[in-house]
Each structure stands twice: as C-alpha cells, then as structure tokens.
Structure 1
C-alpha cells in the first residue's frame, strides 16, 4: 500500500485544503494566528509571525491527523482475522464518501458540520499549535469525508508504521498549499478570489480520486499495484 496509497493520500490532503469549507476561511485563520487584520480587501500581517505561526498551526493539525491514523491502524490490527472483510467495507465506504464529495450523492447526515471557531487570537507558538489541533478536531464535512476515507485506508494497513505514514502524507498534502498560499495572500487577496472560482471543480476531482481509491481497496487491486511497484523498484536497483 505504501507507494500507490501515499499518492492518493497526498492528493487527498492537497484537495482537502481547497475544499469549499476550508479554503475560504484561510484569511480568518491567518488573522487569528498572527493578530493581523483585513482592511480595504488587503491583509495586513507580520510576515515573520506568519511563517512561525503557520508552522505551529501545521504541527497542530498534523499531530491530530497522525494520532488518528495510528489509532485506526491499531484497531485494524486487532481485527486482523477479519482484514479482508474490513478492506471490503472500507472500500465501499470510501466509494460512498467519494461520490458524496463529488456531488453525485446527497446524504444530509454526511454533511453535518462540526466547525470550531476560535474566539481569541493566537498569542504564541503554543496557541498556534492548539489552534491547529482544534481545526483538525473540528472536522467540516469536506475534510471529514476525505479524512475518514484515509482513516479507513489506514485501518486496513498491516503495520502501524504504514498507517502513520499515510496520515503524515495527508497532513503534508494540506500543509504545503496552506503555507504557500498563506504567504501569497499576505501580499494580495486576489489569489483567493481566483482560486474560489474553481473550488467546486476541485471538490469534484477530490471525490473522483476517492472513488478510484475505494474501488482499488474493494477489489484488492491496491495490494497488487503496490506489490508490482515494489518489485519494479527492486528490479531497477
């Protein structure tokens, strides 16, 4: 699972960041992290603080995501005797979540929102980490579906390391665009308006990626592809 699974989780992390319930909130999170303000469609922020606090925020949500991945894998290992059934159920659920993300299904109970709105601005690095942890804990529907899919994938991993690695890739996928675009909008908010136009299309792409992942897990092709890639890597060496 390590090769193909990492690709899917990394892509899911990137696209989760661009989901309609995360990306538009970026300026609000930045102002809470740095004590900056938005006036006349411009973001006024101390960029040195932005670099440090963004790193703290990323650390915060990565801690939660990786802990969830380790927990999912641990539970999966306890049920190792039922691994085939778990993989089939996981694959089916990932397909359903993917269709929901793509807008091809509309189960209202999957769209219940649990969003944590910070009341106080971040004052130091620790509070930035805690804000990141709060963000990860308060899943919005967009992130929740993608993250749940990756956790289902992690639960079918045969080792704890693989599960942690999968969620580390997911966190990295969210972290890279978060950091780059945070820096970009500190110079101009025009980038936000341009990207906002494509959020629906990106959500559809994310959903389709999850559907493909689900079919691979359900059919057992994920393991075959990973085995083929591993064998090819060894042959190259």
Structure 2
C-alpha cells in the first residue's frame, strides 16, 4: 500500500460525494445540521468540533461493513441488514421529532448520538460502484487487512465533506431569515429520509440519477 495508492483512494472517496452513491444523502444531512443548529440554545449553538468527526466515524463504519461482505463481520452485517435499516430509520425519526419539537436530542452523550446518526445515514449510501471501489472490494476479499485499510481511506475521503459542512454550516444558519420555517423544513426533510431508509428506497433515487446522467468523471 503506497502513499500514491492511499492518496488515490482518498481522492476517489472524495469524488464519490459528487455521484449518485452519496449525493442524494447531502440534502438530508443539511437538514440534520440545520435542525441541530436551530434546536440548540444560543449558549450551545457553537458545535463541538468532535461531533462531525463522530458522525463521520459512524458513516464510515457502515460503508466499510457494506463493502466487506466476504468477511465474518460483513456477513453478519448483511444478514442483519433489514433489522439494522429499521433501527437506523428509527434513530433518524427521533432526530426529526427533536427538530420539529425544538428539542435538542443529543443530550449529554452527543458523541455517541452523532456516531449513531452517522451510522444511520450510512444506510443511505447507494452501492453504485466505480472502478476504484470495485478494486477495493476485490482486495478486501483476497487480503482483508489491506482491503480494510484502503476502504477506511476511501471512506475518509467520502466523509470529509460531511465533516466540513458540520463544522461550517452551524455558524451561518442563525443568520438566515425565517428560522422557524427553516427548522420545520429540516424536520420534515429528516422524516422523508427516515421513510426512504425504512423502505429501502434510496436506491431508487440513485438509479434514477444514474439513468439520466453521465457520472464517469466522478464515479471512479
């Protein structure tokens, strides 16, 4: 595993954000960050910088497990996928209810909650696999340790925009007009996302995008 190979995998993960694999999740993540910013009191509106990192860790964990179906952990994950998907939808539903009710749902355990929500969002990842990710999955099936390391690098690139948004957006949101309407829209956006996760219909969005565009520039 060379430095160039690691950089290529990180870049491929970063580019995947601009593909139907990840792009459909971004509006719902904006809803989550917006809702969280608007349900915090002024004293807590400055987001702990570790919270987006915890979210990213949960997101990456589910992504890696989804790609390691040949491993023991991956097989268990796939076997329990329908149940885990419903749990994820339930957590997103809780977040939506908190936003609509103007309640901060993170409580004292904000990092575990952020990681759980990140993992829940991971179920919105759509497996439209480009050459780089296909190669990684092949490596993971032959050499699990090397494959795991590269999948983590790819996942870190994929998660980076979520971290940047989580760091930057909360400072901007309180300055926007019509905050109550914005909070309600964010809450309903999360409700829609919970329904899409529960019914496994995020794939339909990704498939629709794949059929109507050329994604070869970013699907690597």
TM-score (norm 1): 0.49
| CA deviations over 1:146-174 (Å, ceiling 9, x no partner) | 4x755532232141122112211122112
Task: Return closer, same or farther for 1:24/1:62 CA change in 2, 3 Å cut-off.
Answer: same
| CA deviations over 1:46-75 (Å, ceiling 9, x no partner) | 2234x2321221111121223334434x49
Contact 1:15-1:206 at 8 Å conserved across structures: no
Contact 1:9-1:166 at 8 Å conserved across structures: yes
TM-score (norm 2): 0.52
| 2:82 pairs with 1:120 | no
Q: 1:62 pairs with 50, 60, 63, which one?
A: 60
Distance 1:131 1:3 in 2: 31
Contact 1:150-1:166 at 8 Å conserved across structures: no
| 2:8 pairs with 1:16 | no
1:1-237 matches, cutoff 5 A: 5-19=5-19, 20-31=23-34, 35-37=36-38, 46-49=45-48, 51-72=49-70, 74=71, 116=89, 118-121=92-95, 122-123=105-106, 124-139=110-125, 141=126, 144-146=127-129, 151-157=133-139, 158-188=142-172, 207-210=216-219
Task: Return closer, same or farther for 1:67/1:162 CA change in 2, 3 Å cut-off.
Answer: same
| CA deviations over 1:92-133 (Å, ceiling 9, x no partner) | xxxxxxxxxxxxxxxxxxxxxxx9581122423222111111
Contact 2:55-2:115 at 8 Å conserved across structures: yes
**1:208 aligned counterpart, secondary structure:** coil
| CA deviations over 1:166-193 (Å, ceiling 9, x no partner) | 2111221123222223222223369xxx
Query: Across the two proteins, how many residue pairs are aligned to each other?
Result: 149
- The CA RMSD measured in Å over matched residues stands at 3.8
Contact 1:37-1:45 at 8 Å conserved across structures: no
Note the residue ranges of structure 2 that are not aligned, 5 or more in a row. 73-87, 96-104, 176-208
